[in-house]
Amino acid sequence: MEQILIVDGYNIIGAWPELSKLKDTDLEGARDGLIHMLAEFQSFSGMKVYLVFDAYMVPGLGKKYVQNKLAVLYTKEKETADERIERLVTSLMGRRKEIFVATSDMIEQHVIFGKGALRMPAKELLVKIKQNRKDVRERIIPETTTKRNPFGGKLSDEMKAELERWRRGE
């Protein structure tokens, strides 16, 4: 089953302490940080992730970018992120698809649940991302840090003795 995650960008930025603090001084930096975290999450989890931002008083048509293989969508001039998310859920809904929407907006959670998507509060997404990072670190750290010679553990005692005799020239 294909899993899809749709993220309400500014809602998540406001809900996560690290990004919320950053947005007060550097909104673009907070957006980039969220994009980076979600791109990592997408690459390891296998979920297709869509990140939706309000156009935030920017006139014009909505835009869609792909950054680090992550779909980043900006709404049209007079369209809210909630409206864009609802349209996206409707267009993506189908057989063998499981759609999650990450937002802490309770009204939006109820609306998308009514459309057949599953809700994911901002804090739950943060927990999933932290667990994802932990899993990645565990896979990257080589097992050889605990064993000096992993090859030696696979040899029989007779073979080890024979190799030691060869090493000494006997």
Which backbone phi and psi does 168 adopt, to 5 degrees?
A: -85, -5
44: left (phi over 0), alpha (psi -120 to 50) or beta: alpha
**Using 50, 70 and 90 to split pLDDT, how confident is the model at 34?**
very high
Of 90, 97, 56, residue with least CA distance to 73: 56
Residue-range domain boundaries for the chain: 2-168
* pLDDT at residue number 20: 92
- In this prediction, residue 94 carries a pLDDT of 85
Q: Work out the number of other CB atoms within 10 angstroms of the CB of residue 21.
A: 11
pLDDT at 56: 59
Q: Is the pLDDT of residue 147 over 80?
A: no
Of 14-23, 50-59, 107-116, the range with the highest mean pLDDT is 14-23
pTM: 0.76
The CATH number of the structural domain formed by 2-168 is 3.40.50
HSE of 124 in the Cβ direction (CA atoms, 13 Å)? 11
Q: What percentage of the chain exceeds 90 in pLDDT?
A: 44
